[in-house]
A and B are shown apart, each in its own frame.
Chain A
Amino acid sequence: MSGRNDLTLDRRAVVAALLDDPGDLLVVTGLGAATYDAGAAGDRALNFYLWGAMGGTAMIGLGLALAQPARRVLVLTGDGDMLMGMGALATIAAAQAPNLAIAVLDNAAFGETGAQASHTGLGTDLAAVAAACGWAATTTANSMDEVAALRPRLRREALFAVIGISPAEVPRHLPPRDGAYLADRFRRALGVAEA
């Protein structure tokens, strides 16, 4: 395991706090537990859950944020997905989408596949990576007070946040997984579906 001592928060409590009273927030979630956490916090049409396409979550958020500059977009994903798509941190910093924020749920492990240690448990500091890529605002949160403070910032700033969560497994909560349904539902709720 990682040996990190900052991984204590209950992931469901963290995500429930971040997504409390979501309003018209556009949410894209990374495959695996981030998708389950968002579904457990309350399924809604403006959640787009990934069940695959690992490494792509942040870039979906960017395409969405550029298409909808008047709306707020939150990417919610895990350290494994963010590590696989780490180049996106450079791409997004260069693109400068002020309405896009990313929250990484960091348990320093590949939780879906047997909790093998991930690179964030082996020395990689994702917030520092984002800062080095040009993100002006990066932060970490390791207490529920810090998570509570994060919630409004994620809806206001172009913020990259890493939240230390416990690697303990939580009960599966499976939101819808049909991609065509999820995409169509999202577009209809946003009012951009073609007739």
Chain B
Amino acid sequence: MTDPTWQAGVFAALKRAGIAQVGYVPDAGHAHLISAAHADPSIRTTVLTTEEEGIALAAGAWLGGQRAVLLMQSSGVGNCINMLSLPVNCRMPFLTLVTMRGEWGEFNPWQVPMGTATPLVLGATGVHVRRAERAEDAAETVGAAAALAFASCVPVAVLFSQRLIGTKVF
């Protein structure tokens, strides 16, 4: 497990941003956020079978007047490509926090292709990409990303670098 201190700051930033729905496909790097979201009675937390469900969930939340966030790892970004046409085309805000694999001391070669492609794919589909490399910047980066997404109605992804979340030990 990673040090949850910065992740507590990220959760607080999501609360300040008015996030009312969290959708996720689990990742160890998001474990603290997922637990915190489930424990918060003011947040509705939905486990997904695949990441693109979370984009549609967030679109529905926005239609209903709520703000949502999607938590996933970089491998899931590839599952999202066509569904990203939904927030882009409908000029809806979309916020996702992505834990990166395949970029820092990665043990599992199957994580490398999508980890390498993640920022390129997001950029190519019209998503604004921000990156958090250091624990002390993570909460501020998420807060700024949420402000951009919800005030300017654009899709924004924050990539949590693998160095930040800690390399998975097998």
Contacts and interface: CB of A to CB of B under 8 A. Distances in A.
Asked if A and B bind, the verdict is yes
Given A59-B53, A64-B64, A94-B47, A52 B59 contact: no
Given A63-B63, A64-B61, 16 more contacts: A48-B63, A53-B86, A56-B53, A59-B53, A59-B57, A61-B60, A63-B21, A63-B56, A63-B58, A64-B63, A68-B64, A88-B49, A95-B46, A183-B62, A186-B63, A187-B63
B45 to A, nearest CB: 9
Interface of B: 20-21, 23, 44, 46-50, 52-66, 68, 82-83, 85-86, 89-92
20 contacts: A52-B82, A52-B85, A53-B82, A56-B53, A60-B59, A62-B46, A63-B57, A63-B64, A65-B60, A66-B64, A66-B66, A85-B56, A87-B50, A94-B46, A179-B86, A182-B90, A183-B59, A183-B91, A187-B62, A192-B64
Contacts of A54: 82
Contacts of B63: 48, 60, 63-64, 67, 183, 186-187, 190
Interface size class of A (residues with CB under 8 A): 35 or more
Contact of A56 (B23, B52, B91): B52
B46 A66 contact: yes
Given A91-B46, A192-B65, A67 B82 contact: no
Contact of A183 (B20, B57, B85, B92): B92
Contacts of A53: 56, 59, 82-83, 85-86
